[in-house]
Amino acid sequence: MKLILQDGSIAEHSFDEEIGCGALRHTASHILAQAVKRLYPETKLAIGPSIKDGFYYDLDRPEPFTDEDLTKLEAEMKKIVKENLKLERFTLPRAEAIALMQERQEPYKIELINDLPADAELSFFKQGEFIDLCAGPHVTYTSAVKAFKLTSIAGAYWRGNEKNKMLTRIYGTAFANKTDLAAYLERMEEAKKRDHRKIGKEMGLFMMSEEGPGFPFFLPNGMILKNTLIDYWRQIHTRDGYVEISTPIMLNRHLWETSGHWDHYKENMYTTVIDDTDFAIKPMNCPGGMLVYKSEMRSYRDLPMRVGELGLVHRHEKSGQLHGLMRVRCFTQDDAHLFCRPDQLKDEFLKVMDIIFIIFKALDFENFEAQISLRDKVNRDKYIGSEENWEKAESAIIEACQEKGLKAKIEYGEAAFYGPKLDFMVKDAIGRRWQLGTIQVDYNLPERFELEYTGEDNKKHRPVMIHRAPFGSMERFVAVLIEHTGGKFPLWLTPDQVAILPISEKFNDYAYEVKRQLEAEDLSVLVDDRNEKIGRKIRDTELKRIPYMLIVGEKEAENNEVSVRKQGEGDKGSMKIATFAALLNGEVEEMMNRWQKSND
């Protein structure tokens, strides 16, 4: 399809290319805005970019938009597409641009113009009677937008600032053809069913409270799941020679100034004053790890030093960005900090990659992509450390990926302020990508904290540091795991592995005897002894995603048996209690063997 690029030239690009996909969806956002102005002319336009899975437009309207409005807007958008309006790009001097927006009564556009640099080119795109301040690119005719759908309505502060007015954001998506659109919408419907907030409530895993927005509460079943993951984390790290520490949740300002967080990250930190001294709740575990390293003299023989920490960190997120366990204000980061000699760096980096691969394999996240995040090529002011150290750190990551045969996409401007990183994006069961594990090389914090070790030459040397978090954060990982599995966890991870359902109250005693025998075999079991019909108990147990149900009644009690149902598979017949216990333990043992093979 033909595109009008940001310089006004015309070029051919396909939807499969990032520029083509973005241009089509950006044009869809303009068609949405045009439809809004036709149906609700009093509405003021803010911004309407393309985004990863579609587009949105922020709008200021006296009356809130409703789902019925979306239906009307879609119909009007189809008319605009059918009209086959030509998109035309033009530029204006600043005074004329402001006059045009004043004439069209668009105050948000005027604010955007005034905030642009004095020498900025002010470009507009026109389609029919509709004109929008925009850099582009766009397709050349509205008829190219053949397949689109408005998906949801949300609130959004103007320019993302909580002090500004709350606008209405209409989300939508667009594809090159109706087949791809239908497939996407089907995935989105499946995603709604897998929403970790819905499943987490049904399974009793976690809760959120108005008393602590963004601060999750893990419930008993959620703690079993979380602790099982942590036990696995400890197992594989112990095998790889890691030690574990715990550092304070709050440390004084001097530490955060030394680390660079006070100057580069303060807006995301929670601070307080104690005894006339500024303190901050830690947003990251790293600086505490530095103090542990500095607590005694180190020799080259002590390195590499692999130090793990499951540390609770706090970061301020805007209220509109909070989302279940995906985006929270406090979370447990499965950190480790490796201190090594420069000659050990690449080998240690490769070993960390192996740990991440092991975890992904054990949890069925074998379909993943990697991204190398480097500094912005132009704006270097937001990074700390010397040019030489940055070049060494960036080269180490690139070389490690090459040696591992890992194809990693390079993204400039995505590095942390103190070092480059390698991020892993896993693909879940319905094709969505999630950023989970990360590894960072850091020459800068050892420099800032003046870390040293005595070398073989008896002189002082500076260690290199690797930051890494295979899960990323326990909270986010649990959320992704819930949505990946739909809450149907592998047996070894499931909080309640078995539900025993007596068909009436008179078989409760037998149900509890079965529970006692199964718990003696290290299985997690509950008894549903409610005075409810067996059909209701089965439905409720399925909603909780409990893998196995054991129906017990007169026949089972007489024969010392259980009638087995498996989640998603139905009736599996009757069997002795010991036989059933062996079946489940065999399933768990199979996973343990998989762990062992992964670690070997």
Q: Write the DSSP assignment of 132-168 as a string of letters.
A: EE----EESBGGG--EEEEEEEEEEEGGG-TTS-EEE
Distance CA 80, CA 511 (A): 65
- By the 8 A CB rule, do 486 and 191 touch? no
286 counts as catalytic: yes
323 counts as catalytic: no
Helix (H, G, I), strand (E, B) or coil at 235: helix
Helix H or strand E encompassing 56: strand 54-60
Distance CA 452, CA 446 (A): 8
370: left (phi over 0), alpha (psi -120 to 50) or beta: beta
Distance CA 526, CA 515 (A): 7
337 counts as catalytic: yes
Distance CA 479, CA 487 (A): 10
Distance CA 399, CA 455 (A): 25
Which residues does 445 contact at the CB level (< 8 Å), separation at least 6? Answer: 259, 260, 286, 287, 290, 418, 419, 451, 465
Distance CA 336, CA 348 (A): 12
73 C-beta neighbours (distance < 10 Å), count: 22
Helix H or strand E encompassing 563: strand 561-566
**Catalytic residue among 34, 127, 333, 497, which?**
333
Is 23 exposed, middle or buried (CB count within 10 Å of its CB: 0-12, 13-18, 19+)? Answer: buried
571 counts as catalytic: no
Is 564 exposed, middle or buried (CB count within 10 Å of its CB: 0-12, 13-18, 19+)? Answer: buried
**Catalytic residue among 421, 468, 544, 545, which?**
421
Which residues does 533 contact at the CB level (< 8 Å), separation at least 6? Answer: none
316 counts as catalytic: no
End-to-end CA distance of the chain: 51
Structure tokens at 521: 């075999």
Structure tokens at 286: 């790293």
Distance CA 151, CA 28 (A): 13
Residue linked to tokens 């969505």? 432
149 counts as catalytic: no
Structure tokens at 203: 């399974």
**Catalytic residue among 194, 337, 476, 515, which?**
337
**Catalytic residue among 335, 423, 496, 528, which?**
335
315 counts as catalytic: yes
Q: Write the DSSP assignment of 480-510 as a string of letters.
A: HHHHHHTT---GGG-S--EEEEESSGGGHHH
**Catalytic residue among 21, 134, 286, 401, which?**
286
**Residue 74 CA, distance from chain mean position:** 30
**Catalytic residue among 315, 375, 476, 515, which?**
315
171 DSSP β-pair partners: 56, 152
Is 550 exposed, middle or buried (CB count within 10 Å of its CB: 0-12, 13-18, 19+)? Answer: buried
Active-site residue list: 286, 315, 333, 335, 337, 421, 467
